[in-house]
Amino acid sequence: MGSTWVNALLAGIGLGAGAVFLLAAARRPAQRPGCLAHALMGLGMAGMFSPWGDPVPPVAGALVFVVVAAWFAAALLRTGRVGLTESTHLVVGPAAMVLMYLVPMGHAPTDTTVVDPAHAGHTMTMGGGGGSPWLSAVALGLTGYFVWYAWILAGRLRPAAPTASGGGTVAVAAPALATGTRIVVGAHVVMCGLMAVMFLGSV
């Protein structure tokens, strides 16, 4: 990423999103596993963007998210409801985190290259002009996915458009989202945005 303050800002945003999901996990027992998974992703993204270095060893972070992705993938297969749903996103998101931990989002370290301290512990390269073309293609595809999913989620926050009926225009009220729900949906959008930024920077 760019300057120190930009990375610090993005890390702070990741921490904030993670905190929202932690609070949601405490208040929504039925959604607790998903909220905790998103909280972990928020904390993981904060560490990756941190200009002072990621405190989580890449292998340890990758193993955690392999377990998370596998757990939700098994749950998804048990239900048989495979599709572009929140359940599927809970597999894609952690899997993307595994990729981020194992493959740094930038240039490979060289004698003349200053490595982003947020990924100082990584040893492989992705994109940035020197990585594998297929890894760059995966990064581009994931960028598109997270942008698309953020757009879908943001649609839940937009008011419904008025429709014409009889003698005039009638405003159709969209299903009201509680304030807490809107905040959680907003945190989802923010997390997708952070992931898209990370992957886009590696293309």
Split at pLDDT 50, 70, 90, the class of 105 is low
CB 8 within 8 A of CB 56: no
Return the percentage of the chain with pLDDT > 90, whole number: 54
Has this prediction a pTM greater than 0.75? yes
Split at pLDDT 50, 70, 90, the class of 201 is confident
> What residue ranges do the domains of the chain occupy?
4-200
Assigned token pair, 149: 């999913």
What is the Rg, in whole angstroms, of the alpha carbon atoms belonging to the chain? 19
Q: Of 146, 148, 154, which is closest to residue 100 (Cα–Cα)?
A: 146
Element (H, E) at 21: helix 4-27
How far is Cα 194 from Cα 58, in angstroms, rounded to an integer? 18
CB 107 within 8 A of CB 113: yes
